[in-house]
A and B are shown apart, each in its own frame.
Chain A
Amino acid sequence: MALKPSPAGDTALRTLSYAQAAALAVQREMEADTHVVVLGEDVGRGGIFGQYQGLQQRFGAQRVIDTPISEAAIMGAGVGMALAGLRPVVEMRVVDFALCGLDELVNQAAKNRFMFGGQGRVPLVARLPIGIWDSSAAQHSQSLEAWFAHLPGLTVVCPSTAQDNHSLLRAALQCGDPVVYMEHKTLWGQPGEVDESLAVPLGRAAVRREGGDLTLVSWSRQALVCEEACAQLARQGIHAGLIDLRTLWPWDRETVLGACARSGRLLVVHEAVQAAGFGAEIAASAAEATGCRVRRLGAPRIPVGYAPVLEAQSRVSADQIVATAREMLA
């Protein structure tokens, strides 16, 4: 993972896992603002992925609130707390379980501000981890980010690195809007250098690699697979640019469309099912705005299977990305 070097003399850089980076983000925001609270199942013991490690010991059970298995009440209570002046981090375990609290997120959190004419706001961050969780089958492996990008009122974030997970989670907690924050279920242990003082604004993509032959756009874990594909292409003399979108809504049109205009070719890659995935929105926007050629790569429209050979059918591999890129350049 290519991380920008820190400015000279900055000693704030340290190596943290994706989960630790998130825990530190919540810690910093809880220190800065007593209105920030955490609620969800198993958060007291650090969360099931360690993404809340040490927070209950540090801030107490009043602010890091263990809850019953009641997704509708967790999400709904988060909305009520936010309306009452708190800034809750609402833990949903995995996106697949968040579906049990979907009315509270879609009909309540996302619409409250508009529907009531701006009388109230709902500053909450709902954490809904996405992606294939190895050998966890159909109900623990979905990537549903496009659902939420489709909903007015919601901000959607899908970080791929420890640094982004730290900085974007803090930005999400500060923004004052309801944010659907989608970490990846298999990235928790992924290490990376984290500079606490580095701010990453919502809606700004990261250019991971410059390259004028074609433009790759991806996010979350799939962006790391795209890195591999770009390295392979480079060995074959093909210079592919790679943009990690990071925030799906609002998405960084300027960076993406600028790169597409220069390269004339866009390949959008995501782990989610390709049909009606968010890649279609980016591809259509790029084609409309720049006239570039577009291709999409995503999972086939099948539930994720358990046996490794079945699960593999839902993954978009580096080899597939390379082959598609070569086709576009043929």
Chain B
Amino acid sequence: MTGLYRMMVRIRAFENAAEAASQGGVSAYGKAADGTARVRGPLHLSTGQEAVPAGACAHLRREDYLTSTHRGHGHTLAKGADLGRMMGELFGRATGFNGGKGGSMHIADFSVGMLGANGVVAAGLPIAVGAAHAQKLQGRDAITVCFFGDGAINRGPFLEALNWAGAYRLPVLFVCEDNRWSATTASGPMTSGPGASARAHSLGLPTLQVDGNDVQAVHEAAGRLVAEVRGGAGPRLLQALTYRVKGHVSVDLAGYRDPAELQAALQTDPIARARRRCLALEPDERVWNAIDAQAEQEVAAALAAAEAAPWPTADQAFTDVQTTGAGQWH
């Protein structure tokens, strides 16, 4: 429980800091740039959803793969990526995982098997089945976890990837972070039928549905499914019911939402719930406050380091494009 709590507060602290650093940023949904933003462009926050990656990734090993979404900070941290290099990437600096070439929307740490946040909804699903297919083909003792949202289940690659995974019995766990919002549109009215797990079930995948704001429940359900997938039983799907507390991007104030809906969601905040459980196990507040403070310190150090880090040089715009014909840019 301590580890789960620690991971959740790290994700929350990271995103709170990133959000503050993004104010004044550019977005179609909010204010125009005023040049003060240090985290620029779209920043998709997973505030309120931290229990899903924390609970699911606790069962993963370094050699396991993970594919993510545009809302991928939590997945990346939970897979074991370094928080400082992640902040560097959000700042667009040379020290970031991608050397400043990707930013928040393409956060990735291949060294821990995190194969990237993706700007295209549902794009991670076919990539995940390919990675899992390779793992199976090569007889590796490893699995792939694929995170996606409730919006992704209405794109074709969702069907194609689940069918593929089932047909080849691949070692992949699909995790639907059902946060009820597709950009600035509620998913419910746009989705025919009961959603992700029902669709997966119709394709022959065993599924579980879980309260995605209860980190212990997520941990338990994911643990069961990961064990089955690792044991060669084939693909599984976990539907975690959660809520997107922030707007679609950090500068989206989500004025299109019913305030009562948000208030109700805030009552089920996963970190507050976890903390109550933690106190039942260890009543001394100081133990848990220390974990909170540690996360804040780590994030403060990451902010300072990112601020001080160099920008990539202009010639980096021409590297890592392709080797074949490199230099023939014009």
A and B are interacting partners: yes
Residue-wise, chain B 99-117 has the 8 Å CB interface mask toward A (1 for contact) of 1111000101111000110
Contact with B along A112-155 (1 / 0, CB 8 A): 11111111100000000000000000000000000000001111
Asked, given contacts A67-B164, A155-B325, A175-B324, whether A83 binds B119 with beta carbons under 8 Å apart, the answer is no
* Count of residues in B whose CB is under 8 Å from the partner chain: 49
A202 and B116 alpha carbons, distance in the complex (Å): 30
- Answer yes or no: A70 CB below 8 A from chain B CBs: yes
Q: Residues of B contacting A114 with CB < 8 Å?
A: 101, 320-321
A79-B130, A107-B119 given as contacts; is B324 within 8 A of A72 (CB)?
Answer: no
In the assembled complex, which residues on chain B have CB atoms less than 8 Å from the CB atom of A82?
130
Interface hit among B132-140, B213-221, B259-267:
B132-140
Task: Please judge, given known A-B contacts A114-B101, A116-B108, A117-B99, whether A76 and B125 are in contact too, CB under 8 Å.
Answer: yes
In the complex, what residues of A have CB within 8 A of residue B313's CB? none
- Quick check: B102 and A117 within 8 Å, CB to CB? yes
Residue contact A76 to B129, C-beta cutoff 8 Å? yes
- Are B97 and A104 interface neighbours, CB within 8 A? no
Which residues of chain A are within 8 angstroms of B96 by Cβ–Cβ distance? 117
Interface flag for A294 (CB, 8 Å)? no
- Closest Cβ of chain B to A250, distance in Å, is 3
Shortest beta-carbon distance from A257 to chain B in Å: 13
A153 touches B321 (CB 8 A): yes
In-complex Cβ contact of A116 among B98, B126, B137, B138 (8 A)? B98
User: Cβ of B110 and Cβ of A85 under 8 Å apart?
Assistant: no
Cβ of B128 under 8 Å from chain A: yes
The winner among B131, B144, B163, B167 for most chain A CB atoms within 10 A is B131
B157 CB-CB contact with A under 8 Å: yes
Task: Please name all residues of chain B whose beta carbon is closer than 8 Å to the beta carbon of A37 when the two chains form the complex.
Answer: 137
Contact digits for B234-262, partner A, Cβ 8 Å, 1 yes 0 no? 00000000000000000000000000000
With a cutoff of 8 Å between Cβ atoms, the chain B residues found around residue A113 in the complex are 320-322
Tell me if A62 counts as interface (CB < 8 A to partner B). Answer: yes
- CA gap between A117 and B97 in the complex, in Å: 7
Smallest CB gap from B329: residue in A: A152
Do the beta carbons of A116 and B129 come within 8 Å of each other? no
A-chain residues with CB within 8 Å of residue B65 when the two chains form the complex: 84
- A269–B87 alpha-carbon span in the complex (Å): 51
**Which residues in A have their C-beta under 8 angstroms from that of B133?**
65, 77, 80-81
Chain A 50-70: CB-based contact to B (< 8 A → 1; otherwise 0)? 000000000000110101101
A13 at the interface (CB under 8 A from B): no
Q: A76, B116: Cβ atoms under 8 Å? A: no
Q: Note all chain A residues with C-beta closer than 8 A to B163.
A: 68, 70, 73
User: A residues 62-112 with Cβ under 8 Å of B?
Assistant: 62-63, 65, 67-68, 70, 72-73, 75-86, 88, 103-104, 107-108, 112
Contacts of B109 in A (CB 8 A): 119
Chain A residues with Cβ below 8 Å from B132 are: 80
Q: Contact: B320 with A118, CB < 8 Å?
A: yes
Q: Tell me how far the C-beta of A135 lies from the nearest C-beta in chain B, rounded to whole angstroms.
A: 30
Report whether B160 and A72 are in contact in the complex, using a CB–CB cutoff of 8 Å: yes
> Do A73 and B160 have beta carbons less than 8 Å apart?
yes
Cα A179 to Cα B323 in complex, Å, equals 11
The answer to whether A116 touches B116 (Cβ under 8 A) is yes
Residues of A within 8 A of B135 (CB): 84
Q: A116 — which chain B residues lie within 8 A by C-beta?
A: 97-98, 101-102, 106, 108, 110, 116
- Identity of the chain A residue whose Cβ is nearest the Cβ of B172 in the assembled complex: A80
User: A72 touches which one: B67, B126, B321 (CB < 8 A)?
Assistant: B126
- Least distance between B224 CB and chain A CB atoms (Å): 25
Q: Which residue of B67, B108, B119, B324 contacts A119 across the interface (Cβ within 8 Å)?
A: B108
B127 proximal to A (CB < 8 A): yes
Q: Smallest CB–CB gap between A278 and chain B, Å?
A: 14
Nearest CB on A from B109, distance (A): 8
| Min CB gap B133→A, angstroms | 6
Closest to B325 in A: A250
List residues of chain A with CB within 8 A of the CB of B323: 175-177
Nearest B-chain residue to A70, judged by Cβ: B160
A18 at the interface (CB under 8 A from B): no
Complex interface bits, B308-330 against A, C-beta within 8 A gives 1, otherwise 0: 00000000000111111100100
- Closest B residue, CB atoms, query A69: B160
Known pairs A80-B127, A84-B134, A117-B100; A202 contacts B324 (CB<8 A): yes
Mark each residue of chain B from 132 to 153: 1 if its CB lies under 8 Å from any CB of chain A, else 0.
Answer: 1111011000001000000000
In angstroms, Cα B258 to Cα A254, docked, is 64
Residues of chain B within 8 A (CB-CB) of A181 are none
Additional A-B contacts beyond A80-B126, A113-B321, A115-B102 (13; CB < 8 A): A72-B157, A72-B160, A80-B144, A104-B127, A107-B123, A113-B322, A115-B106, A116-B102, A116-B106, A116-B116, A118-B99, A178-B322, A250-B325
| 5 A-B interface contacts by CB (under 8 A) | A73-B157, A77-B127, A84-B130, A117-B100, A250-B324
